[in-house]
Amino acid sequence: MEPQHLRDLHDLQLRRGARPDGPGCRVERVDGVVRHTGPAHAWNGVLWSGLDARSADRVIAAQIDHYRAAGLSFEWKLYGHDTPADLGDRLRAAGFTPEGPETLMAAEAAALPREVPLPEGVELRAVTDEAGVRQVVEVHERAFGTDSSDLGRRLLDRLATDPDAVTAVVALAAGEPVSAARMELYPGTDFAGLWGGGTVEGWRGRGLYRALVAHRARIAADRGHRYVQVDAADTSRPILRRLGFLTLTTTTPYVYEVRG
């Protein structure tokens, strides 16, 4: 695997070739951007842009107008190789707030461990219904300290309307949810995306994150996806590197809040 090749393939298949990821969502390719628009609980934002110094400010303003008209806050997902080089500065000047940068990483799904031993008394359970989604939301809120209700609504939407394109798993210790994660399967592409791996305090450092990566990678490989990709936080990047993931680029969410 060559990082440059994987980055270009990711851009082509998942960013420029993005598809709607839930009911009521649409993808538009307009004025040098690919954007995703849906209900308020959906992910709304710009997935890809091909801009230059002359067009950037005008196109940024047009996206603000688009989402403001819909009454939706949104995210501009900026990658380290996007142009122009000062796009982040331009987004800040337009009123966007950058969140913490992450690292885009990828690995061959079939090359990853098929299984990682679980701590004694822990079992993995597939999430298939509302009760399972509630457990995922509980783990995320305890692990990350954020309101994850919109995540729960999105996951329920996908399980109801397109269950073959998403899978989620929760780790239970004596019936208590202690870790959870999901995977987006992108039909017709080489990729599956690993998202939301979180473990509650007290259970970290015991292999649960690695076990959930292995579990999802096995499913991705069995369903014909060659690669798995992750937007990795600083805490997970060393674990993924040891598993064999390659660094492709950085990604930073720039958030624009639309109020009232």
pLDDT digits (tens, 9 = 90+) for 54-87: 999 999 999 999 999 999 999 999 999 999 999 9
Structure tokens of 98? Answer: 């950058």
At residue 223, the pLDDT reads 96
Q: How far is CA 97 from CA 51, 88, 201, 252, in A?
A: 20, 10, 28, 10
Q: For the chain, what percentages of helix, strand and coil (3-state, to nearest 5) are there?
A: 35, 30, 35
Q: How far apart are the first and last CA of the chain?
A: 47
Q: Scan for tokens 């690993």, then name that residue.
A: 194
Q: Where are the alpha helices (DSSP H) in 29-86?
A: 56-70
The residue ranges of the chain whose pLDDT is under 70 are: 260
Q: Which residues contact 113 (CB under 8 A, 6 or more apart)?
A: 210, 214, 217, 243
At residue 1, the pLDDT reads 75
